[in-house]
């Protein structure tokens, strides 16, 4: 595929391309342009030019285009989901959900477009105040490979409806879904230059988006390490910055929890998208009085999960997205075994057989008796490995859950309203789910506390993140 700059489908200035490969079998899916800093400059110039007219439209006119695009995305759901599965690896049913999720986000921002307004205030001595909401200008969006469609929606929806223009960089391994979605947005009436998509590497395309002085705001989703570098580099042009970074979400299962539901929640929470979700359940704390029964049932359920190519019917978990991620997970679990940092009771290996030979597959893995200083608890484990820790009660669970540099999500599984109240108040995270985990409706603001990020996406709060407020006093 080509990339989108100034309304044209184009190659990179260098004319270089790279291969996008299917993580389930190593086969070529398509090629994409290997963009460079020059390409980002072209895109930023175009977005700067397009801003003048785009920002003068009413939010309702902009919202109509997003709505039209959402309808077309729904019509092409299957085709888009196939592209997503082929380049990312997730099972087709998850890819379909993700594409629907993208359409939901566009519809949400289209829906509120008519209600976007400023505020009038009566001041002392007969004076009046008006607070105007103004778009910021050209914005940059840098996204990861784990949920590329949803994360594109989180950025495109609020940025465009408020009148900003965008230069977006997909992750290197998953450019195709983002390009296909951009093509639909364009065909739905976006003027040229309003949305530009530049494909390529973080070190060239990403760094230029962060530095380019025409780009006034940056929304970055990715790892904490890259987020730190991005925050530093963005200071040179005083960009507004939103950072959505990694997480290590705790799930707390209390003694009165519905065990069947909690087992399903843990399976979905950890093994959905092969464990590569920012808000996946990455640490599970279970009350010791129910631990044996819970772990036995969870293990039985995990051992029945079908691992395979996401395009095949009945597959529950696809491969990891790329070699680096696969090697990281293998090395991590091997180290846990070698150093006896825990007891691997399910999985813990690469599956064998013809189906798995050329893909980045790993078995869904459960680890009990985890050492408190194990990397499983201290780092973000971005793959299908779940450490399980037994606790005496809620106080201990919350203390351990909060003993982390991360603070993205958390969940409490109980029917006791007092336990729910205490957990929701004390858990240090941007979102706490009750008897569920992972799902993020577009209406709810989302982001992390501690090192998991700065700012919020989603909901009305994302509108504020893409606007400057101007006060007029008369
Ligand atoms: P990553 O940080 O390696 O890359 C993210 C993006 O940044 C990619 O597009 C990459 O090409 C680009 N990039 C790399 N180096 C760059 C640089 N120096 N300057 C600018 N851009 C650069 O992350 P990843 O491995 O693609 O994604 C996984 C991570 O993303 C996990 O930590 C996960 O938790 C996190 N994540 C967070 C959220 C959230 O909303 N909080 C959502 C999804 C994923």
Q: Pocket around ligand 1: residues whose beta carbon is below 6 Å from it?
A: 142-147, 151, 169, 171-172, 202-203, 206-207, 210, 221-223, 226, 229-230, 244-247, 278, 380, 382, 408, 448, 453
Instruction: Place 90 in a pLDDT band, splitting at 50, 70 and 90.
Output: very high
| Catalytic option among 94, 98, 107, 244 | 244
Mean pLDDT of 165-189: 98
CA of 156 to the centre of ligand 1 (A): 17
What is the pLDDT at residue 327? 98
What does 332-400 look like in DSSP terms, one character per residue?
Answer: HHHHHHHTT-SEEEE--S---SGGGTTS-----EEEES--TT-HHHHS---SSEEEEEEESSHHHHHHH
| Catalytic option among 90, 155, 169, 239 | 155
Pocket test for ligand 1, best of 211, 222, 235 (most atoms within 8 A of CB): 222
Mean pLDDT of 153-173: 98
What is the pLDDT at residue 318? 98
Phi, psi of 351 (to 5 degrees): -70, 150
CA of 221 to the centre of ligand 1 (A): 5
What does 153-205 look like in DSSP terms, one character per residue?
Answer: HHHHHHHHHTT-EEEEE--TT-HHHHHHHHHHHHHTTPPTTSEEE--S-IIII
The DSSP bridge partners found for residue 217 are: 139, 240
What is the pLDDT at residue 439? 92
CA of 303 to the centre of ligand 1 (A): 31
- Annotated active-site residue 330? The verdict is no
Distance CA 345, CA 125 (A): 73
8-64 confidence digits (pLDDT tens): 999 999 999 999 999 999 999 999 999 999 999 999 999 999 999 999 999 999 999
Distance CA 263, CA 318 (A): 20
Which residues does 236 contact at the CB level (< 8 Å), separation at least 6? 211
- Annotated active-site residue 244? The verdict is yes
- Taking the model in full, what pTM does it have? 0.98
309-319 confidence digits (pLDDT tens): 999 999 999 99
Mean pLDDT of 333-342: 97
What is the pLDDT at residue 74? 98
Instruction: Specify whether the CB–CB gap between 272 and 98 falls below 8 A.
Output: no
Instruction: Place 383 in a pLDDT band, splitting at 50, 70 and 90.
Output: very high
Which residues does 213 contact at the CB level (< 8 Å), separation at least 6? 237
Measured CA to CA in angstroms, residue 273 lies from 67, 145, 148, 261, 286 at distances of 27, 11, 12, 19, 23
């Amino acid at each position: 595929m080509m990339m989108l700059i100034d309304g044209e489908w184009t190659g990179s200035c260098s004319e270089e391309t790279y291969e996008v490969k299917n993580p389930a079998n190593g086969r070529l899916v398509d090629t994409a342009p290997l963009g460079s800093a020059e390409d980002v400059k072209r895109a930023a110039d175009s977005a700067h030019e397009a801003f003048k007219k785009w920002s003068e439209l009413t939010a309702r006119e902009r919202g109509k285009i997003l709505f039209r695009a959402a309808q077309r995305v729904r019509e092409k759901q299957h085709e888009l989901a196939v592209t997503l599965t082929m380049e990312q690896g997730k099972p087709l049913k998850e890819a379909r959900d993700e594409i629907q999720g993208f359409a939901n986000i566009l519809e949400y921002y289209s829906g509120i477009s008519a209600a976007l307004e400023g505020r009038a205030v009566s001041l002392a001595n007969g004076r009046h105040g008006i607070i105007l909401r103004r778009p910021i200008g050209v914005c940059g969006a840098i996204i990861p490979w784990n949920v590329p469609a949803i994360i594109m929606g989180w950025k495109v929806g609020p940025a465009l409806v408020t009148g900003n223009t965008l230069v977006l960089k997909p992750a290197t391994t998953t450019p195709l879904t983002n390009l296909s979605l951009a093509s639909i947005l364009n065909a739905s009436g976006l003027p040229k230059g309003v949305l530009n998509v530049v494909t390529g590497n973080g070190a060239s395309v990403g760094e230029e988006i962060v530095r380019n002085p025409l780009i006034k705001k940056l929304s970055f989703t990715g790892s904490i390490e890259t987020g730190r570098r991005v925050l530093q580099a963005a200071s040179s042009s005083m960009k507004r910055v939103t950072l959505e970074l990694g997480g290590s979400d705790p799930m707390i299962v209390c003694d009165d929890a519905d065990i069947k539901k909690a087992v399903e929640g843990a399976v979905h929470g950890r093994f959905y998208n092969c464990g590569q979700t920012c808000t996946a359940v990455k640490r599970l704390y279970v009350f010791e009085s129910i631990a044996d029964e819970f772990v036995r049932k969870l293990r039985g359920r995990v051992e029945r999960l079908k691992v395979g190519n996401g395009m095949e019917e009945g597959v529950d978990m696809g491969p990891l997205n790329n070699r680096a991620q696969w090697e990281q997970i293998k090395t991590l679990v091997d180290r846990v075994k070698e150093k006896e940092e825990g007891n691997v009771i399910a999985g813990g290996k690469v599956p064998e057989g013809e189906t798995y030979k050329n893909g980045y597959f790993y078995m869904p893995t459960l680890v009990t008796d985890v050492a408190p200083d194990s990397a499983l608890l201290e780092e973000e484990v971005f793959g299908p490995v779940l450490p399980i820790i037994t606790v005496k009660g809620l106080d201990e669970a919350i203390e351990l859950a909060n003993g982390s540099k991360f603070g993205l999500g958390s969940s409490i599984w109980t029917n006791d309203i007092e336990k729910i109240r205490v957990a929701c108040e004390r858990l240090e995270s941007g979102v706490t789910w009750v008897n569920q985990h992972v799902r993020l409706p577009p209406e709810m603001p989302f982001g992390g506390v501690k090192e998991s990020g700065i700012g919020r996406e989603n909901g009305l709060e994302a509108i504020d993140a893409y606007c400057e407020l101007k006060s007029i006093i008369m």
